[in-house]
Structure 1
């Protein structure tokens, strides 16, 4: 072949190699959900691509055979076409042996560069940008290639399958969609501006309903506003004015003996009608839903739905009341800032390197605010105060400090053994060592 014919063959080989590159990347990058939408819209090509994705072995065998064969052939043709020409020109200045080497290096560099740029980088970037559209176009020609090269494909496929079996690897693509996949998609959508940051956070919070326990959303025992059965009208009015809530537990003797709950609206109606607010009246006090403190928020929602209630008393394994939770508390956990401002922020950012956090803040919210992962003994506590107790192995006192990662947690205020405020600051992990980990099997001292 003369030089013109050789260059034409090289261009043709580059085109073939580019086709195989696009076929490879477009199939691998095609999103299953997008293809499913195309199938639902009546595009048979999308169904063909999905079937290939389920068993892609023969498809990729054709791609690899084609790419390697074309690349080798391109090198042979390029070396035969360009080396003599360049060697002839170089022989005017160098010895024949040196000129031959220069000709070989020149042809190798030019042909390799053309294949890398035009047959690899360019088509693969194009395939990453529009994977589904290109996969639909190349699927039919690739099926023809799979038929034409079936004997070769069969040989290499069997050889590859044998290697997979020896290595104990699966050849079937796992199409299960996990919640991590969905969260990754929503995070990408938020970064791209398709989703607002608050919308993305709502989706993430929804998935946490199955992992967060009711303790992360409930009103703690020491903050519960409740009535005794024998409270007078004046006491009830004063309590409502001091601590206005929509629902109040009604107790007999102490908070651990809950007999029911009363709605504030029912008390208002009695007050407007000049009727006594007797909390022993069975028509006024309703039976309370009681749930264990180990339930997840998703399970609490299920309990609300089954009981047609929106208020529940939370008890521990010793039948002691540890808190109360409402449907609004659960929805606030999901909706976050979209529910509107709250009376008291649990996490207050003071500046770029410090936060003031309430001790009852759910540990999931702390991890999210500080971008923390894998806190030690995470299954032993639910709040920031619990984390400090586990790390210190005693009831924290004012000025106690715990260092973990790049953060220092300093107890600022303790109220009746309850950690009220914690100052979190960024420290240099190279200068301050992590606090020692407590043993996993020991229990907190009494």
Structure 2
């Protein structure tokens, strides 16, 4: 009879131990989703976790009552087994009872609950809700004293740590999602999170590569440029890109191109006023600004108001979903030229980020934006003759220098390079 009661008490102890671990191991975000889907077990668990101090108080109260009762009963049983030697009875009871409780009431149930928290917590929540109601006066009394002690050390039990995730934590969750999120979707989600670390300056088309309409050119030159352009929106300026008149949408003048009746005054008339943005604008902010201002193209200016480049809505979207272009020549990265010996000749004007993305390299991107700028920064001077240098695992040989700019460089990867610990 006494053995049966002892076994029952140990089972109860295992229930409380597994319930505590299971409830605290539940994924809060999954729990909220399941509760919104009217899952009864999730709804009960959510209700219990709204006040964790009451839940823990209920579990610990029940667990301690059961453990103390089991210890007392085990002592009685051991003394009846060895009535002539009470000291031996207490010693054996202590060893055996500790092992039994540790294995069957603590370690095993808690490990099981940690591995499958939902299978343990959801059924247990039904019993815990009843116990919480039954033990409410005692639990309230104990919690009042415990919370008072916590307030003495300036800990507010009502101000629990929120479940909000940081950007880095979200990035880790996305990467570790595995097959739950397709690789392409993982890349898109991470790219969205990375937008806040990038600025317009990182993706803009530089000033030297801007294609626009110069109203100071002859009309025939302008017409020919409009007929052959691959862009739907072009900046219109006079003499210099800093003297921007507006942004021209080619559909507004398409009806005049074949007839040859287009005049410069009409181009200026239909051009929309230019939209200027600072080069330091974060990409996620600019994406919102494009939407708010109903714009798709902007002129990027520096702190002095000079035009540094152009940024489009498509440029930002490509950072999220990848390149839109289907042009084989354009998509094969014309700035990178593989050689038969395994090296690569790269245009000095190429963007470091684009080279990294194309070649899966890790050239530093926290400094200059172009390959030429990166080389000059490492050398700390503009070389007057071809030289060699190394950046990590990359051996770089300057091939051509013109107008104080590295025009071309040869990259070779050192397979034996080891990154410092």
Q: TM-score per shorter chain, which class?
A: 0.7 to 0.9
Deviations 1:399-439 (A, max 9, x none): 33344xxx557475666536866667673235xx9xxxxxx
Superposed, which structure 2 residues align to 1:35-434 within 5 Å?
Answer: 35-42=31-38, 46-71=42-67, 73-74=69-70, 77=73, 108-110=98-100, 112-116=102-106, 118-127=108-117, 130=118, 134-150=120-136, 152-154=138-140, 156-171=142-157, 172-178=159-165, 180=167, 181-189=169-177, 191=178, 193-236=179-222, 239=225, 244-266=230-252, 269-276=255-262, 278=264, 281-336=267-322, 343-345=331-333, 360-362=351-353, 378=366, 399-403=388-392, 410=396, 416-417=404-405, 427-430=417-420
Q: Which residue of structure 2 lines up, in the alignment, with residue 436 of structure 1?
A: none
Q: Which runs of 5+ in 1 are unaligned?
A: 88-96, 434-446
* Shift in Å, 1:223: 1.6
Provide the C-alpha distance between the structure 1 equivalents of 2:62 and 2:335, rounded to a whole number of angstroms.
59
TM-score, length-normalised on structure 2?
0.74
Provide the C-alpha distance between the structure 2 equivalents of 1:364 and 1:163, rounded to a whole number of angstroms.
59
* Shift in Å, 1:20: 1.6
Deviations 1:347-366 (A, max 9, x none): 9899xx99998852349977
Q: Establish whether residue 25 from structure 1 lines up as the match of residue 34 from structure 2.
A: no
Secondary structure at the counterpart of residue 251 of structure 1: strand
Q: Structure 1 residues 46 and 386 mapped into 2: Cα distance closer, same or farther (>3 Å)?
A: farther
Deviations 1:369-400 (A, max 9, x none): 5689xx89x5x766777676666655688533
* Shift in Å, 1:214: 1.0
TM-score, length-normalised on structure 1?
0.70
Q: Which residue of structure 2 lines up, in the alignment, with residue 444 of structure 1?
A: none
* Shift in Å, 1:301: 2.8
Q: Which runs of 5+ in 2 are unaligned?
A: none
Question: Any conservation in 2 of the 1:17–1:71 contact (CA below 8 Å)?
Answer: yes
Work out the number of aligned pairs and report it.
402
Question: Any conservation in 2 of the 1:271–1:277 contact (CA below 8 Å)?
Answer: no
Q: CA RMSD in A?
A: 4.6
Q: Structure 1 residues 65 and 263 mapped into 2: Cα distance closer, same or farther (>3 Å)?
A: same
